[in-house]
Amino acid sequence: MGMMRGVSAIFVMFLFVIAVNGRGLGPSISKPDPADGVATARWLASQNTWGVLSTISIELKGAPFGNVVSFSDGLPDKGLGVPYFYMSTLDPTPRNALKDERASFAVSEVPIGSCGKADPENPTCSKLTLTGKLKLVSRNTKEAESAASALFSKHPEMKDWPKDHEFEIYRLDIEDIFLIDWFGGRKPITLAQYLHPRMDQLASVV
Amino acid sequence: MGMMRGVSAIFVMFLFVIAVNGRGLGPSISKPDPADGVATARWLASQNTWGVLSTISIELKGAPFGNVVSFSDGLPDKGLGVPYFYMSTLDPTPRNALKDERASFAVSEVPIGSCGKADPENPTCSKLTLTGKLKLVSRNTKEAESAASALFSKHPEMKDWPKDHEFEIYRLDIEDIFLIDWFGGRKPITLAQYLHPRMDQLASVV
């Protein structure tokens, strides 16, 4: 009976781990203090794996067009803040960007799993929109190589996606950072702060 | 001991229910057959509670601007397909829409929790973008009343949001439906099909 109880306890613990982790999407690094907007923004970019990439639609005559896409800003927990995408021109988003580079990329804290009971639109449930220019990354460059590692490490199935669909790597060159992570409206963050957080801030993100 | 084992078994079952439900975001209605694009699109709109609403940015001089927002297309499991939003003009998105109505709203199957191991960009993990015009709903109308019920039933904290922030209800008047729910590219769906699915299709959604 003692052994049975031991096995039962291990089973309970196992289920508890599954329960706490939900669908396995929990963040591997805990949420920064909301007072630290730069760290929060970088954490949102590093811990998310998908978001919505918006471009100016050709087909819809200039309407904004948001599209759910996967992304990576670096190796797991080693994000550098700049989102890379792996898209085919069978999809409208890269076609739009090749005509008009203006784009924005939005992610939420909800998929990371740390908003608790806060509504997705409650300002304590943080959200980040990076706006700038969406650029094709040239093949066979050092950047393409590191971007591929960043993407494939978080999205292992990508490397097996059909070769004849001509997937290419794209990078968002960020110009504006829109972060909500607490009451009081948009948190002011400059591009320089976002790309080069002070070392003590970075320590809590990477 | 028998009683203890009974309690232990109930506890294990309880944890198992938590584990299966993840963060309690599981769909209350199972995913339609991907061959039925209309039902899938309506299911994505009905079962999601947040997405990214894109507008043409005033501040960013015409760039597309995606913003994470909550929404509702009706009472739980009684969705009608048309997304309503509850936003304040302290937020840039409604300000943009009041100047240029063109907008799109994107949701993914990922938050519903039924993509399994498929990558968020894998076409079997479905996604929906509704593009059209974002309109302010007049206060004190029948539509405002039913939209408020739709929103507050899925987002209970909204009704307590600060009165002095002047939250208003907005509706997306859909013109184009972009659905990916399987291999082979965009699934053709007309607005009429989306808004008025055949009764036998509707039966699987509401």
Chain B residues with CB inside 8 Å of A19's CB? Answer: 15, 18-19
Predicted confidence at residue A29, as pLDDT, reads 87
pLDDT for B87 beyond 70: yes
Chain A residues with CB inside 8 Å of B55's CB? Answer: 64
**Count of CA atoms in the C-beta half-sphere (13 A) of B128:** 28
Residue A64 and residue B66: Cβ atoms within 8 Å? yes
Chain A residues with CB inside 8 Å of B65's CB? Answer: 54, 64, 104, 129, 131, 178
Q: How many CB atoms lie within 10 A of CB A83?
A: 28
Smallest CA–CA distance, residue B32 to chain A, in Å, is 20
Which residue in this structure is represented by tokens 């907007």? A37
Predicted confidence at residue B27, as pLDDT, reads 75
Query: Could you give phi then psi for residue A116, rounded to 5 degrees?
Result: 60, -135
* Nearest beta carbon to residue A8 from set B8, B19, B176: B8
Mean pLDDT, residues B22-31 taken together: 66
Provide, rounded to the nearest whole percent, the portion of chain B with pLDDT above 90: 79
Predicted confidence at residue A7, as pLDDT, reads 47
Strands B64-70 and B127-136, bridge-based pairing: unpaired
Enumerate the β-bridge partners of residue B135: B171
Closest CA to A87 of B131, B120, B90, B165: B120
* B3 reaches A (C-beta below 8 A): no
Provide CB contacts within 8 A for B109, sequence distance 6+: B31, B44, B115, B125, B126, B127
Predicted confidence at residue A28, as pLDDT, reads 77
Instruction: Report the residue of B13, B23, B108, B154 to disrupt the A interface, i.e. the one with the largest count of A CBs within 10 Å.
Output: B23
Predicted confidence at residue B116, as pLDDT, reads 96
Structure tokens at A86: 């792996």
Digit-coded pLDDT (tens) for B130-140: 999 999 999 99
Predicted confidence at residue B5, as pLDDT, reads 55
Tens place of pLDDT per residue across chain A (206 aa): 454 555 455 444 444 444 333 344 467 789 999 999 999 999 999 999 999 999 999 999 999 999 999 999 999 999 999 999 999 999 999 999 999 999 999 999 999 999 999 999 999 999 999 999 999 999 999 999 999 999 999 999 999 999 898 899 999 999 999 999 999 999 999 999 999 987 555 555 54
Predicted confidence at residue B26, as pLDDT, reads 60
Predicted confidence at residue B200, as pLDDT, reads 52
Smallest CA–CA distance, residue A88 to chain B, in Å, is 11
Interface of A with B in 52-71 (CB under 8 A): 52-57, 60, 62-70
pLDDT for B47 beyond 70: yes
The full set of domains in chain A, from first to last, is 27-202 (2.30.110.10)
What ipTM was reported for this prediction?
0.86
Higher pLDDT, A146 or B206: A146
Smallest CA–CA distance, residue A165 to chain B, in Å, is 11
* Nearest beta carbon to residue B16 from set A15, A106, A185: A15
Residue A121 and residue B176: Cβ atoms within 8 Å? no
Predicted confidence at residue A27, as pLDDT, reads 75
φ/ψ bin of B116: left (φ > 0), alpha (ψ from -120 to 50), beta (otherwise): left
Q: Do the beta carbons of residue B111 and residue B48 sit within 8 Å?
A: yes
Predicted confidence at residue A54, as pLDDT, reads 98
Provide, rounded to the nearest whole percent, the portion of chain B with pLDDT above 70: 83
Structure tokens at B148: 């408020």
* A12 reaches B (C-beta below 8 A): yes
Predicted confidence at residue B125, as pLDDT, reads 98
Residue A63 and residue B104: Cβ atoms within 8 Å? yes
* Nearest beta carbon to residue A23 from set B1, B22, B67: B22
| Per-range mean pLDDT, top range of A20-24, B88-92, B200-204 | B88-92
